[in-house]
Amino acid sequence: MSGLTFRLTSAPVERLDLSTLTPKVLASTPLADVLKLNVGTTKSGVKLGDVFTVSGKPGDTIIIEGSTNKLDFVGTDLEHGSVIVEGDVGVGAGRNMRSGRLDIRGDAGALLGSGIGGGEIYVKGSAGSQVGGLTPGDKFGMTGGLIVIDGQAGDRAGDRMRRGTIFIRGKCGSFAGSRMVGGTIWTELGFGADPGMLLRRGTLIGPSVDQFLPTFVDAGRHDLVILPILSRYLREKLGPKAPKALPGIVRKYAGDLATVGKGEILITA
């Protein structure tokens, strides 16, 4: 593993936009110019070199040390290689990722992996609202890839998500899968209130739901062949850290009948 290590020298006084800090940009830009990149979000014009020290050689990996939740858009547009963050990140981490791997060894802010189309995001801590969601102007949220969160996820995870998989070891907030068009959200500790609001297609899996929307119907208990396929997919991705395989029988709730209604909430307990 070769690459550059960026170490935050002091707590930022303003939010920093690190969307330009990708392996692709670093591979094509002289390091001296990289340090001149404007990462500030106010008129002050903070340069990368003002707040980070750099060590190592350019390669496929970027390591960000001493990170705080004021570092936004880490790993944006990532197409290859990996970004490892020691600490927390702010909003929009992994936005529009297409491939590669983003490893956040702390908490993530809102809109983690918004618009992600491929690649993998791993969060050691918890994530804010709208994991895999969308921002104004986007047609869809997450359209592919994998997001794994070891802690909790905030509200509206998978908002207008179309494809891909979100796996949350902790609890998922309210309104998970709102306006979802496809894809899978799997939580090991259950969903908050009203998951699947205006869910068109897609699958929400968990042991419990705090409160069901009235527009979901109980479709009975079923053994679904797709579930062991999903378990195997995560086993291949996560190895020994993979979750326990899904049970053979789940209870299916179909909805949201306020819209297309081809989605499902599968209760594993």
Partner 1 sequence: MKINGIEIDDTFAEAFGMAGTGVIITADTMKWARVAAVTMSGFGTSVIGAGAEVGIDRELSPSETPDGRPGVRVLLFGFSPDAAANQLKTRVGQCVLTSPGSACYAGVESEKRIGLGKGPRYFGDGFQTAKKLGDRRYWRIPVMDGEFVIEETTGVVTDAVGGGNILMLGNDRAGLLQTAEAAVDAIGNVPDVITPFPGGIVRSGSKVGSKYKGAIASTNDAFCPTLRGRVKSEVGPDTIAVLEIVIDGLTSKSVADAMRAGIKTVLEIGAAKGVTRITAGNYGGKLGQHHYKLRELLP
User: Please, which residue, 232 or 241, has the CB nearer to partner 1?
Assistant: 232
Residues that bind partner 1 (CB under 8 A): 144, 146, 163-165, 182-184, 201, 203, 222-226, 228-230, 232-233, 236-237, 262
Pairing assessment for the beta strands 61-67 and 250-255 based on DSSP bridges: unpaired
Q: Is 10 exposed, middle or buried (0-12, 13-18, 19+ CB in 10 A)?
A: exposed
How big is the CA angle at 11 (ends 152 and 156), to the nearest 5 degrees?
25
Q: How far is the CB of 241 from partner 1 (least distance, A)?
A: 17
Q: How far is the CB of 14 from partner 1 (least distance, A)?
A: 39
Q: How far is the CB of 84 from partner 1 (least distance, A)?
A: 22
User: Please, which residue, 233 or 258, has the CB nearer to partner 1?
Assistant: 233
**Within 13 Å and on the Cβ side, how many CA atoms surround 155?**
5
User: Please, which residue, 47 or 201, has the CB nearer to partner 1?
Assistant: 201
Q: How far is the CB of 124 from partner 1 (least distance, A)?
A: 22
User: Please, which residue, 56 or 261, has the CB nearer to partner 1?
Assistant: 261
